[in-house]
Structure 1
Amino acid sequence: MSYLDTTYNVYREAALTPDVGLCCTTNPIWELPGLKIPKIMQEMNYGCGSTVHMRDLSNNPKMLYVGVGGGMELLQFAYFNRQPGGVTGIDMVDEMLEASHQNFKLAEEMNPWFKSDFVSLKKGDALNLPVEDNSIDVAAQNCLFNIFKAEDLKKAIAEMYRVLKPHGRLVMSDPTCEQPMNETLRNDDRLRALCLSGSLPIVEYVKALTDAGFGTIEIRARKPYRILDPKNYPTGERIYIESIEVAAIKDPMPPDGPCVFTGKAAIYYGEDKFFDDQKGHVLGKNQPLAICDKTAAALSSLGREDIFISESTFHYDGGGCC
């Protein structure tokens, strides 16, 4: 049995018998006017963060969600779209698709604005999406890609890149881990399916996205997720796992490499009203400007004492230099 077969079985079980503790998220449920989320959807929210960000959802984007879970985030996406077929949900597990279908019936009873046909559910594989090229504005996955091993992860990201329109957004939440994991953990298929032992360091996670061609990366949040301790897992040391929320934007790749925003800012506090580096970056006096890591390195290399560069906060919400 492959690790993908194990994953299939884990989420088949989770569809038939909802498992509240399967994944955990510290994100509060969206509180929006007229949006009521059925309890069963909350219990089947098998994610580690949120992929729903309002600034991604203007102008009725065509949306794709891979790995539907109980359908909660698809319902949230539909709240902003409200068009037949505006949101497509794809999953390999028949039982999960059926559970989501039933959950949408409950959501329709609770939300006068919602119609089940706002969401189109399809059986499909993240490694071979049944979606046309360049047809999606916003694609999302929550706590799925961390399960994939290296070659499959490469395929899954390439598929998302393929279906996105130019400047489209891939919005994700996944566990990450900066500590090394032993091979016993890495090769435990069930722990991988449970979104624990496949976690990558953030640098490797971002590189997988930029290698696929995404020219802009935004790290929007970084939060505590889980602990793997020696008493309960095959490890000789405590391992700390976090979750991150990321948007990868299908912008053209700049000649000098991708723009990766990790929450850094530059503040000019010199004698002039502003500082202009003659490369498109103008810093108003004592006005913080969000900058990508590439720009942060370039400004730091100037050696100026009147420009402060912050450390990465891993919280970026737009308005940056690129």
Structure 2
Amino acid sequence: MSTGYLETTKNIYREAAEHPQVGLCCTTTPIWSLPGLKIPKRMQEMNYGCGSTVNPRDLVKDPKILYVGVGGGMELLQFAYFSRQTGGVVGIDVVDEMLEASRKNFVEAERVNPWFKSEFVELRKGDALHLPVEDNSIDVAAQNCLFNIFKEDELKQALTEMYRVLKPNGRLVLSDPTCETFMPGALKDDERLRALCLSGALPLKDYIKMITDIGFGTVEIRAKRPYRILDPKHYATDKLIFIESVEVCAIKDPMPDDGPCVFTGKTAIYFGNEDFFDDHKGHVLMPNQPLAVCDKTGGNLAALQHEDIYISESTWFYDGGGCC
């Protein structure tokens, strides 16, 4: 398979490192508002992402954090806010100019944030397909609007690499565009559009399947929101193509015998007259107390056709506290 599009991607981000381009490929990532955290202006201008990745709740107990595709270093600085330890955050990038720009930005970040030291972040040259990171050494790994650039074989390899470096029960947090509309071949094969995070978007179901096929036993869909339109006036398509951005957390849990637990925001509510309902598979529903359920459990409960159990549709938002 040709990988010329990867070289096109490198060239685009070399230019973006030397001459910041606000919103180059995506809707910019929301900036965390935290006491004592100041994001230098140049970091904000180099904020090339399509959503949020890591949530502060992922950063408890001094985790070792890996971020692939450093941009201007903004997310690395945000992660360091929670770890505050030498080498607690590892940033990987294949573009020398981007690594150098981040180093300069960290000098400014040190000036405006008394708590921050550049040594909190370790920058390494490398790419997502061959991570220069030891096996089972990372608690939280993240990427923002990078994996959608890859074609299928490279995407599988990138996900496999993330799985390799994560500790058992470690978390892979991703933000990427997805698309349920057929993407014409002319757009898929356009190297620049792919590098700009537009034409590589997969249907969400296919994206999740690639993640679980690698071995991740639990997948959480944390957010899903409108993102871009590719229209016939500007792109090689005869109809509107609607693209959404999705925020996903994949957990390196053991794979259940009956398949992965995928949370898409479904909820089960028991409204019967008994003190509780027990499905004898580890799920107990208390009266009128909503329980977030994975799609698998939701389907099993729905199949019972119990007149006093309601299963909601997917909301594409999951914030923890579920059935598994």
CA distance in 1, matches of 2:229, 2:101: 30
Alpha-carbon distance between aligned partners in 2 of 1:203 and 1:95, rounded to the nearest angstrom: 35
- In structure 1, the residue corresponding to 2:36 is in which secondary structure? coil
Partner of 2:118: 116
Equivalent residues in 2 for 1:52-201 (5 A)?
A: 52-201=54-203
TM-score normalised by L of structure 2: 0.98
Q: Deviations over 1:186-228 (max 9, x none)?
A: 1000000000000000000001100100000000000111110
Alignment-mate amino acid for residue 68 of structure 2: V
Partner of 1:309: 311
1:222 aligned to which of 221, 224, 235 = 224
Report deviation, 1:52. 2.4
Cα RMSD (Å) of the superposition?
0.9
Cα distance in 1 between the residues matched to 2:264 and 2:223:
9
Cα-to-partner distance string for 1:138-180 (whole Å, 9 max, x where unaligned): 0000000000000000000000000000000000100000000
- Give the counterpart of 2:296 among 280, 294, 297: 294
Which amino acid in 2 is paired with 1:157? L
> What's the CA shift string for 1:24-59, capped at 9, x where partnerless?
336531110000001111111110001120111000
Residue of structure 2 in register with 1:235 after alignment: 237
SS in 1 for 2:119: helix
Matches of 1:55 and 1:259, distance apart in 2: 20
For residues 42 and 128 of structure 2, the distance between their equivalents in structure 1, rounded to whole angstroms, comes to 25
Structure 1 CA distance for aligned equivalents of residues 27 and 66 of structure 2 = 21
**4+ residue runs over 4 A deviation:** none
TM-score, length-normalised on structure 1?
0.99
**Separation in 1, partners of 2:99, 2:211:** 28
Which whole-Å CA distance do the structure 1 matches of 2:51 and 2:280 have between them? 39
Structure 2 distance, partners of 1:28, 1:48, is 9
**Counterpart check, 1:207 vs 2:209:** yes
Alpha-carbon displacement from aligned partner over 1:65-111 (angstroms, at most 9, x marks no partner)? 00000111100000000001000000000000001111111110110
In structure 2, how many angstroms separate the alpha carbons of the residues matched to 1:225 and 1:109? Answer: 35
* Gapped regions of structure 1 (runs ≥ 5): none
Q: For 2:11, what is the secondary structure of its paired residue?
A: helix
Count of aligned positions: 322
Displacement after TM superposition at 1:273 (Å):
2.0
Counterpart AA for 1:136: I
Question: d(CA) in 2 for partners of 1:287 and 1:23?
Answer: 42
Instruction: Verify: 1:260 aligned to 2:262, yes or no.
Output: yes
| SS in structure 2 of the partner of residue 108 of structure 1 | helix
- Between the aligned partners of 2:28 and 2:50, the Cα distance in structure 1 is 8
How many angstroms does 1:305 deviate by? Answer: 1.5
Matched to 2:125, the amino acid is K
Distance in structure 2 (CA, Å) of the matches to 1:287 and 1:237: 44
Q: Is the 8 A contact 2:28 2:47 kept in 1?
A: no
Deviation at 1:244, TM superposition (A): 0.4
Matches within 5 A, 1:12-51: 12-25=14-27, 28-51=30-53
Q: Return the alpha-carbon distance in structure 2 between the equivalents of residues 28 and 133 of structure 1.
A: 31
8 Å CA contact 1:52, 1:76 repeated in 2: no
What secondary structure does 1:246 align onto? strand
How far does residue 125 in structure 1 lie from its aligned partner after superposition? Answer: 1.2
User: Partner of 1:179: helix, strand, or coil?
Assistant: coil
